[in-house]
Amino acid sequence: MARPIGSKNYGWDKAELERMYITEGLSSIQIAKVLGVTGTAVRQAMEKFGLKRRTLSQALSGEKHYAWQGGKTKTSTGYIEVYMPEHHRANKRKRVYEHILIWEEANGRRLRKDEVIHHLNGIKTDNSPLNLLALRNEKHRRWIPALQKRIRDLENELKNCCQSVMNFDTLERRR
């Protein structure tokens, strides 16, 4: 048994130690401060009870990491991911696309496995509920080429309008 600072043997409770270390995620030093004992005493008690210690990377992950920014990151593909390990759509890194979370909350149901979320305005970081549409995979695959063709048509129309305006402007200057 470990000795608390300045008193007799400390009566260790395995359940309490597990709650503090595993459930609450406190470090052995933090537990020592709460209980008024040394960090070494806590580590010895954990060893006695067979409690496996966290690795340094586990201890400094998530909210405890020095570079933690609320669990949000932008992926290389331009989408926003949120750290949410318990979510049914969480990937290996325990992250979920933010647009899925927002759509599910706005619509009051889980996204099915055969559904994807489409950003109506094409901006991957615009996750406002009105910009998000759930589509079945097969419908999404058919819809995207049609939207891309419409965008190309509109871009060509805009280009023609700009050329017409420039031609008219040139004619007006000559007069």
For range 14-37, the mean pLDDT: 87
Average pLDDT over all residues of the chain: 84
Q: What is the pTM of this model?
A: 0.52
- Distance, CA of 62 to CA of 84 (rounded, Å): 10
| Residue 174 placed within a domain | no
| Residue 40 placed within a domain | yes
| Residue 67 placed within a domain | no
- pLDDT reported for residue 71: 77
CB atoms within 10 A of CB 99: 26
- pLDDT reported for residue 61: 65
Residues 80 and 116 in one domain: yes
- pLDDT reported for residue 8: 47
| Residue 32 placed within a domain | yes
Residues 76 and 48 in one domain: no
For range 126-155, the mean pLDDT: 86
Tell me which residue range forms the domain holding 127: 72-137
- Distance, CA of 164 to CA of 131 (rounded, Å): 33
Residues 76 and 132 in one domain: yes
Residues 76 and 131 in one domain: yes
| Residue 65 placed within a domain | no
Residue 23 has pLDDT above 60, yes or no: yes
Our count of domains for the chain comes to 2
- pLDDT reported for residue 175: 66
Residue 70 has pLDDT above 80, yes or no: no
Tens of pLDDT along 71-120? 788 999 999 999 899 999 999 989 999 999 999 999 999 999 999 999 98
**Bigger pLDDT: 117 vs 163:** 117
| Residue 144 placed within a domain | no
| Residue 63 placed within a domain | no
Share of the chain above pLDDT 90, in %: 33
146 pLDDT tier (thresholds 50, 70, 90): confident
